[in-house]
Amino acid sequence: MELQEAVQYRLTNPCSLADSLKEVAEKSERIRQFLTVRKLSGLLLTRVDNFAWATAGLADNQIGWGSNEGGASLLYVADGRRFVLGAHSEIPRLKDEDIAQLGFEPIEIPWYQDNSSFLQSISSGRFASDLPRPSFESVDIAPLRYALAESEISRYRSVGEATAAAVVETALKIEPGMEERSIEAMTSDALMIRGLRPTVLLIGSDKRIFQFRHALPSNSKRVDKYAMVNVCAKKWGLVISITRLLHFGPMQSQLQDRYAAVAEINARYWNALKPGASFKNIFTQATSWYSELGYDGEWKLHHQGGPCGYTERDLLLHPESDATVLNRQAFALNPTIQGAKAEDTIVVHDDLIDNLTATPSWPTLPVSIDGITYETAGVLILTA
């Protein structure tokens, strides 16, 4: 691909700097309130997901793609001061490119020293960390991330549209005889040329889609009639999940029936996602949906998904969960019946569902509930 052609694919942040700075300030206030309630002197954020969330996606501390421990940390002090701590390998870049206007004071700490002496100079009180550290109280701040700001939703929508476009682009290039590994490479290229980082790439074909709920691409399998592209990808820290399947030639009626049932279950899930609704109650209803539609117990063979945002899933819908749906919370649900699956990333807006990964060029299976029609992606049928 020529450079000029590649540049036109790349995502640009839909949020103004003013909107992003407002979002950073709002999140700093959430953290200040967290410190007050916990009676803490400060909070150290090193996890990649928390770092991206706190900086409105404008700063990135991820060095190793396989690790959620970043190369730099944000330090919030109860008196309102904010710092970014890191070694010489990180601070110059963050200072020049990422945090210059975000209100964090950069502090360079040699890689062979820990940050305890600097912390002692800040305060003698109790400090907490989002990763286990000696002398720190370990805390989970994920709940602070769950309700999305409108500026976050705007960015998330852009990430969803770009990820969906990359998946569709890849799917339309798949041909019978193509290796699953080749499809994986094409998918990765389509994502990364848009500035998206793949975090999950599941590529399955034919009987492997029926055999395995998580079909990692095989070194030897080639597509015959049926192919699946399942992706999680992120930009600005926000993670999108989407699955699309295509079939060469007509599908068997049994598979068509399974897709009709998956679409029905997916629609019922979306309809149940109302602010204040209990995860436990939704899950309990879902188990009966599978049974009612003739697929009793299928829910046991794969998790049903759950809320997302800065991770693939923050939680899972679960029979023991005490969580409830929040307004402006993102979800990636993935009901499956052997060989059939639905997966999109959505945001709950009051009583409406905003599908971030809608693919208008793809066939859908509409299901109407309570006067609302929910569109679940079906299988794209192609000529062999």
Structural domain boundaries of the chain? 17-145, 150-382
C-alpha triplet 317, 321, 324: angle, nearest 5°: 80
| Separation of alpha carbons 42 and 73, rounded Å | 12
Give the Cα separation of 107 and 284 in Å (integer): 50
Residues of the chain with pLDDT under 50: 1, 3-4
Distance CA 237, CA 371 (A): 35
pLDDT of residue 8: 66
Q: Is 12 exposed, middle or buried (0-12, 13-18, 19+ CB in 10 A)?
A: exposed
pLDDT in the model for residue 3: 46
Superfamily per CATH, domain 17-145: Creatinase/prolidase N-terminal domain (3.40.350.10)
Q: Is the separation of the CB atoms in 85 and 73 below 8 Å?
A: yes
For strands 305-308 and 330-333, give the pairing.
Answer: antiparallel
What pTM was computed for the model?
0.95
Q: Which helix (H) or strand (E) holds 25?
A: helix 17-38
Closest C-alpha among 80, 100, 103, 101 to residue 92: 100
Q: Give, in words, the CATH class of 150-382.
A: alpha beta
